[in-house]
């Protein structure tokens, strides 16, 4: 989630659907509709579309939600403890903007284990009488049995279909009665369910979530109807969108062995065959307290949360021990691969080039942080090299950027992308982008470049992670992909200590132009 | 975040089925919790009335007014504002002007060219954003409050003295053109233009806010300057501020930021327009899914039936999981991943719009189900329990969502002013919802949902659309 949250990539449905998507926003919409990251938890700044271009334009690890939120929720609140930590780190870099930061209340983040093995993280933030309650299961599409693609996401939907204790709809009604919100999402490495409610409703939420962790009831009829729903979801998010169709096959080409080669939502012909037995097997294997992380962020006291958690989740029996999540890993890549989609609905071409790189979970110390800053310098925003060089100076790109997706259990990807301006050629743009990559690998970055990138990176953390639900997501995704609470809290410091040499080293080591995978989206008639 | 409304009887919430043994205790706990929640719910208006949530009006020496909610717990200030007008003010043939101008405000201002401005903004550690919508040009800034005030100076420059230098103008123009070209063969984008013309006719709302290839090509720095001059003025400006700033300091900042603007905007009058309904269009495109859009009459904030309509829409399709449309289209039949209804508010037009998408071979069935669901609500109305549950949701959600973050709060302050809802609206709102009766909701359902809607289908040829 680290990079994901930083990168603002919320494909948020336009709040005013009847107002045509216009201006610089629409050029990227085609590429973004596909991915539904934990939508409600992604920061959405007010910056104009061109500022978000880089972020909005990338391929995200797909995280599918059960229901699309009606509109974006711009986050603004800072959670005390994160804030202090982040800022303690940031202040050293952000010399010009460092305010005197008064510690406000500052309940410390608490983390503990229930007796049945469920991990609990409590992030106190008392500024508003609101709490976000999330249960993260350490299972996602990359944990699915072969031939059952889509079952993780399908099962996430089925979690809303009622239990032996509560009819379908009761949970939703209880949330609605307090004006709360709820949703769920599935990604490669985790599946999460969450509610945002007044603190007085927290125990009730815990009761409902604990109940559906073990007491779900599923009829064939319900399963079949819901399967139709996710088939429509696939048609909507992938099949209707040329960019998404391309991205799915680029992923399957980039990943020759890792499970990320299969889309989170699944292959159409396999989704069509998913049934109640598959769902039950998945449920019984993964939906247990010892495979779950509870994150509670907001106006709560850790001791009180502990007591409530013991009263609810603590009553559930420990499930069978799960084997370590050791999954197939990627072999060395020795080729340059290309994937091309030509489609009549496309009128502006674009490219994206991806490399397999270590994630925070698989990297040697400092490498993932260096990759994050490399992405920031190369293509993080409008001050980045790709934007400045290709969009502003050479004028050959409408947009260009880079992204590193750090919060994955297995090795992850680094991506650069761009679309040529009307009078430029795609090949020239790609060559120019490659040249920027090569330059950084050869000449490295200056101390100034790096300090500015750190400023921007930490500022994004500071501004964009300042909502309970975002913060809760950072803990949830990190803990679901092999990290710890300390990893989340230590990120600002670790970013601060990255050296120019480390950035150059990861660029030279991982971004080899002849060992890469490139996707091309082309108009039916080449311009 | 997705909000949910309730579908069934409120009473059922307490009648959770009991099982044996210790489960009973657990169930009772939940039942009790629900009861307690009900009590807490009654206090939500008290929460909203909390002094922290009560905006104060702040007026500067030069007469610039803002609504402020102070919150000194973290060193951040959020400012949001809107100048009325928006893309409706684009001259004919210059469509896209408002959006281009908004995008260029931070691309050079005062004595700073684009690059210098961006570097200073980066150093100031602030985020500034502008955007144009139909009825206004929106701006916002989020900054750290401690010590450094450079961000205010940069925002002042962007608002008062944008340069519109040729280089950024040409670059942004090229980006707009690319955006237009990029979507010109996308069936849903094309269909969207069809939709705007269908329901708004020749009204400015039907014009493309992002411009056309020829209109964008013709926009000059002179046009941008003139548009800025006509639209940015102290009257017609609404400002919401949240965070670590007190009224006295804000007063000074308001004059710094906006005090030197002209007093009055020079706007082209825009007529009110009722959406043109009772027409059906199929835009044929070979797509795996057919998207459906239906427009019914809407309602303005200022109309007495607004709150009954808000409740009615919530029951019809305002939120997933529990609305009538969600239940009929998605839950029972698996026809779609997403179906909703929304009360659309524009300054000069309102509509209730239902949208969904479904596999091509079930588009006719889906449209039938939607029509049937809507006409049933129009004829029978909702139940008392549905109305009461929606009241709970709509009252509670305001504190949890609109007033949640400083950004949403600042946006709410701007909207309250733009809609003339009054500075005590947060306190008054629960009662406005609470006092709605079942009969009022039934009446507004009948009124809004009984007529023939405008329908647009985008997809493969289908039966059922006859006109």
pLDDT in tens, A120-173: 999 998 878 999 999 999 999 999 999 999 999 999 999 999 999 999 999 999
Query: Catalytic residue among A73, A156, A369, A436, which?
Result: A156
**Residue A423 and residue A340 in one domain:** yes
Question: Given this model, what pLDDT does residue A374 score?
Answer: 98
For A354-392, give one letter per residue: b (16+ CB within 10 A) or e. bbbbbbbbbbeebbbbbbbbbbbbbbbbbbbbbbbbbbb
Confidence of residue A69 (pLDDT cuts 50, 70, 90): low
Q: Are the beta carbons of A179 and B398 separated by less than 8 Å?
A: yes
pLDDT in tens, B136-190: 999 999 988 876 689 999 999 999 999 999 999 999 999 999 999 988 889 988 9
Same domain, residue pair A296 and A365: no
Please name the residue of chain B whose CA is at the shortest distance from the CA of residue A72: B1
Give me the mean pLDDT over the A78-85 stretch: 29
| Residue A146: both structure tokens together | 């072969």
Domain contains A326 = no
- Residue A28 falls inside a structural domain: no
Do A95 and A193 reside in the same domain of the chain? yes
Residue A56 lies in a domain: no
Residue of A nearest to B102 (CA): A48
Contact residues on chain A for B350, CB-CB shorter than 8 A: none
Determine the Cα–Cα distance for residues B446 and B450; give it in Å rounded to an integer. 5
Q: Is A30 within the bounds of a domain?
A: no
Higher pLDDT, B347 or A21: B347
DSSP, collapsed to helix, strand or coil, labels residue A470 as helix
Reduced to 3 states (helix: H, G, I; strand: E, B; else coil), residue A26 is: helix
Segment A77-97 shows an average pLDDT of 32
C-beta separation of B175 from B168 below 8 A: no
Question: What is the value of ipTM here, to two decimals?
Answer: 0.84
Supply B286's token pair: 């070979």
Return d(Cα A122, Cα A301) in angstroms, integer. 8
**Residue B451: is its pLDDT beyond 50?**
yes
Are residues A142 and A279 part of one domain? yes
Single out the residue in A315, A340, A356 at which a domain terminates: A315
Q: How many contacts (CB atoms, under 8 Å) link A and B? A: 385
Contacts of B402 (CB under 8 A, 6+ apart): B408, B409, B412
How does DSSP classify residue A456? H
- Looking at the structure, tell me whether residues A100 and A211 fall in a common domain: yes
Burial (CB count within 10 angstroms: exposed 0-12, middle 13-18, buried 19+), residue B15 = exposed
Q: Do A172 and A90 fall into the same domain?
A: yes
Q: What is the pLDDT of residues A92-132, one digit of tens each?
A: 333 332 222 222 335 589 999 999 999 999 999 887 899 99
Q: If you ran DSSP here, which 8-state letter would residue B18 be given?
A: P
pLDDT exceeds cutoff 60 at B351: yes
Asked if A161 contacts A226 with a C-beta cutoff of 8 angstroms, the reply is yes
The domain of A152 spans 80-241+257-315
pLDDT per residue as tens digits for the range A164-203: 999 999 999 999 999 999 999 999 999 999 999 999 999 9
Residues 223-242 of chain A with CB under 8 A from chain B are 224-233, 235-236, 239-240
- Which chain B residues in 64-83 lie under 8 Å from chain A, judged by CB atoms? 71, 73-76, 78, 80
For residues A336 and A427, state if they share a domain.
Answer: yes
Q: Are strands B454-459 and B289-297 parallel, antiparallel or unpaired?
A: antiparallel
For chain A, the average pLDDT equals 83
CA distance B12 to B94: 57
The neighbouring-strand residues paired with B142 are B78, B127
- More confident position, A83 or B302: B302
Share of chain B above pLDDT 90, in %: 78
pLDDT tens digit sequence for A110-119 = 999 999 999 9
Higher pLDDT, B466 or A417: A417
CATH number for the domain spanning A500: value is: 3.30.830.10
**A305 plus A343 within the same structural domain:** no
| Total number of domains constituting chain A | 2
Q: Is A376 a catalytic residue?
A: no
DSSP character string of A149-168: TTHHHHHHHHTTS-BSSS-T
Residue A150 belongs to some domain of the structure: yes
- pLDDT tens per residue across span B175-192: 999 999 988 889 988 999
User: What are residue B459's DSSP bridge partners?
Assistant: B284
Q: Is the pLDDT of residue A510 over 70?
A: yes
- State yes or no: pLDDT of A333 exceeds 50: yes
Identity of the residue in B26, B178, B183 whose CB atom sits nearest the CB atom of A422: B178
pLDDT on residue B405: 78
Query: Across chain B, what does the average pLDDT equal?
Result: 87
Q: Specify whether the CB–CB gap between B143 and B76 falls below 8 A.
A: yes
Q: Which residue of A30, A73, A399 is in closest CB contact with B186?
A: A30
- Residue window 323-342, chain B: list those with CB within 8 Å of chain A: 330-338, 340, 342
- Residue at A43 is within a domain: no
- Name which of B330, B3, B402 is nearest A69 in CA terms: B3
Domains of chain B: 12-49 (no CATH), 55-258 (3.30.830.10), 279-459 (3.30.830.10)
Find the closest chain B residue to A29 by CA distance.
B183
Residues A478 and A406 in one domain: yes
Question: Confidence class of residue A464 from pLDDT cuts 50, 70 and 90?
Answer: low
- Helix ranges restricted to H, A302-353: 302-311
Question: Which of B71, B331, B337 is closest, CB to CB, to A232?
Answer: B337
Does one domain contain both A420 and A468?
yes
The predicted-structure confidence for B290-333, as pLDDT tens digits, reads as follows 999 999 999 999 999 999 999 999 999 997 788 999 999 999 99
Summarize pLDDT for B274-295 with one digit per residue, the tens.
Answer: 999 999 999 999 999 999 999 9
CA of B61 vs chain A CAs: smallest distance (Å): 28
Query: Are residues A361 and A274 part of one domain?
Result: no
Query: Please, which residues 148-187 of chain B have a Cβ atom closer than 8 Å to chain A?
Result: 148, 150, 171-172, 174-187
| Predicted pLDDT of residue B147 | 62
| pLDDT score for B28 | 30
Contacts of B189 in chain A (CB under 8 A): 20-21, 26
Shared-domain flag, residues A355 and A475 = yes
Question: Is A1 within a domain?
Answer: no
Positive or negative, the CA dihedral B418, B423, B428, B429 is positive
Give the pLDDT mean for B33-59.
50
Top mean pLDDT of A46-55, B18-27, B328-337 is at B328-337
Residue A447 lies in a domain: yes
Query: pLDDT tens digits, residue range A245-302?
Result: 999 999 999 999 999 999 999 999 999 999 999 999 999 999 999 999 999 999 999 9
């Amino acid at each position: 989630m680290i990079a994901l949250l930083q990168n603002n990539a919320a494909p948020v449905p336009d709040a005013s659907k009847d107002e045509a998507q216009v201006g610089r926003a629409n050029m990227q919409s085609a590429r973004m509709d596909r991915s539904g990251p934990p939508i409600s938890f992604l920061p959405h700044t007010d910056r104009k579309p061109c500022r978000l271009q880089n972020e909005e334009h990338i391929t995200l690890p797909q995280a599918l939600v059960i229901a699309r939120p009606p509109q974006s929720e711009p986050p603004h609140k800072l959670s005390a403890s994160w804030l202090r930590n982040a800022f303690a780190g940031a202040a050293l870099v952000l010399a010009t903007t460092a305010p005197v930061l008064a510690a406000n209340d500052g309940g410390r983040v608490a983390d503990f284990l229930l007796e049945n093995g469920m991990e609990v993280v409590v992030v106190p933030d008392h500024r508003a009488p609101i709490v976000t309650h999330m249960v993260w299961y350490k299972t996602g599409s990359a944990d699915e049995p072969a031939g059952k693609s889509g079952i993780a996401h399908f099962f996430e939907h089925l979690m809303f279909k009622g239990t032996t204790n509560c009819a379908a709809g009761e949970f939703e009604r209880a949330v609605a009665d307090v004006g709360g919100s709820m949703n769920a999402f599935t990604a490669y490495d985790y599946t999460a369910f969450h509610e945002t409610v007044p603190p007085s409703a927290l125990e009730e939420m815990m009761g409902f979530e604990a109940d559906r962790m073990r007491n779900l009831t599923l009829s064939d009829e319900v399963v079949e109807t819901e399967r139709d729903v996710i088939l429509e979801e696939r048609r909507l998010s992938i099949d209707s969108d040329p960019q998404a169709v391309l991205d799915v096959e680029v992923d399957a080409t980039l990943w020759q062995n890792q499970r990320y080669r299969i889309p989170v939502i699944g292959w159409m012909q396999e989704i069509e065959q998913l049934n109640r037995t598959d769902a039950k097997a998945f449920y019984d294997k993964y939906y247990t307290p010892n495979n779950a992380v509870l994150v509670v962020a907001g106006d709560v006291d850790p001791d009180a949360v502990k007591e409530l958690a013991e009263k609810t989740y603590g009553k559930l029996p420990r499930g069978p021990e799960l084997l370590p999540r050791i999954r197939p890993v990627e072999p060395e890549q020795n080729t340059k691969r290309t994937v091309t989609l030509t489609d009549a609905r496309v009128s502006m071409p674009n490219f994206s080039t991806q490399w397999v790189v270590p994630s925070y979970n698989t990297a040697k110390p400092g490498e993932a942080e260096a990759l994050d800053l490399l992405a920031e310098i190369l293509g993080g925003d409008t001050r980045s090299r790709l934007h400045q060089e290709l969009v502003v100076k050479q004028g050959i790109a409408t947009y260009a950027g880079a992204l590193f997706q750090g919060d994955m259990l297995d090795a992850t990807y680094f991506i650069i992308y761009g679309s040529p301006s009307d009078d430029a050629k795609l090949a020239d743009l790609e060559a120019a982008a490659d040249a920027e990559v090569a330059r950084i690998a050869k000449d490295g970055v200056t101390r100034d470049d790096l300090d500015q990138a750190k400023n921007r990176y930490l500022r994004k953390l500071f501004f964009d992670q300042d909502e309970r639900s975002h913060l809760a997501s950072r803990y949830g995704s990190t803990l679901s992909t092999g990290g710890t609470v300390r990893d989340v809290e230590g990120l600002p410091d670790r970013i601060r200590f990255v050296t120019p040499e480390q950035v150059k080293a990861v660029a030279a080591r991982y971004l080899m132009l002849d060992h890469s995978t490139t996707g091309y989206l082309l108009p039916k008639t080449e311009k | 975040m997705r909000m949910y409304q309730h579908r069934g009887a409120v009473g059922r919430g307490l009648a959770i089925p009991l099982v044996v043994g210790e489960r009973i205790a657990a169930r009772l706990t939940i039942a009790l919790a629900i009861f307690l929640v009900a009590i807490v719910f009654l206090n939500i208006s008290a929460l909203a009335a909390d002094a922290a949530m009560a905006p104060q009006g702040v007026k500067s020496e030069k007469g610039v007014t803002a609504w402020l909610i102070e919150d000194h717990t973290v060193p951040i200030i959020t400012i949001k504002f809107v100048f009325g007008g928006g893309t409706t003010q684009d001259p004919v043939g210059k469509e896209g002007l408002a959006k281009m101008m908004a995008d260029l405000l931070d691309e050079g201002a005062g004595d700073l060219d684009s690059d210098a401005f961006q570097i200073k903004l980066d150093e100031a550690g602030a985020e500034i954003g502008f955007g144009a919508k139909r009825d206004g040009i929106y701006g916002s800034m989020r900054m750290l409050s401690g010590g450094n005030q450079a961000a205010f100076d940069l925002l002042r420059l962007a608002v008062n003295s944008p340069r519109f230098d040729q280089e950024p103008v040409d670059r942004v123009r090229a980006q707009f053109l690319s955006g237009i070209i990029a979507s010109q063969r996308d069936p849903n984008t094309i269909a969207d233009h069809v939709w705007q013309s269908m329901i708004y006719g020749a009204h400015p709302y039907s014009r493309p806010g992002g411009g056309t290839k020829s209109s964008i090509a013709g926009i000059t720095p002179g046009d941008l300057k003139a548009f800025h001059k006509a639209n940015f003025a102290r009257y017609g400006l609404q400002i919401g501020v949240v965070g670590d700033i007190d009224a006295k300091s804000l007063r000074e900042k308001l004059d710094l930021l906006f005090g030197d603007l002209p007093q009055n905007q020079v706007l082209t009058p825009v007529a009110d327009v009722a959406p043109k309904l009772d027409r059906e269009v199929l835009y044929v495109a070979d797509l795996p899914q057919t998207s459906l859009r239906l427009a019914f009459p809407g309602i303005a904030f200022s109309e007495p039936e607004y709150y009954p309509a808000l409740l009615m829409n919530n029951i019809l399709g305002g939120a997933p999981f529990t609305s009538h449309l969600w239940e009929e289209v998605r839950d029972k039949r698996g026809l779609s991943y997403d179906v909703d209804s929304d009360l659309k508010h524009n300054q000069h037009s309102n509509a209730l719009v239902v949208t969904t998408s479904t596999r091509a071979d079930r588009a006719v069935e889906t449209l039938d189900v939607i029509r049937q669901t809507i006409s049933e609500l129009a004829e029978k109305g909702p139940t008392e329990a549905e109305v009461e549950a929606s009241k709970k949701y709509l009252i509670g959600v305001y504190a949890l969502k609109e007033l949640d973050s400083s950004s949403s709060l600042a946006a709410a302050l701007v909207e309250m002013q733009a809609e003339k809802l009054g500075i005590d609206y947060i306190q008054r709102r629960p009662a406005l919802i609470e006092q709605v009766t079942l009969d009022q909701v039934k009446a507004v359902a009948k009124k809004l949902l009984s007529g023939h809607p405008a329908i647009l289908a985008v997809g493969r040829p289908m039966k059922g659309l006859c006109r």
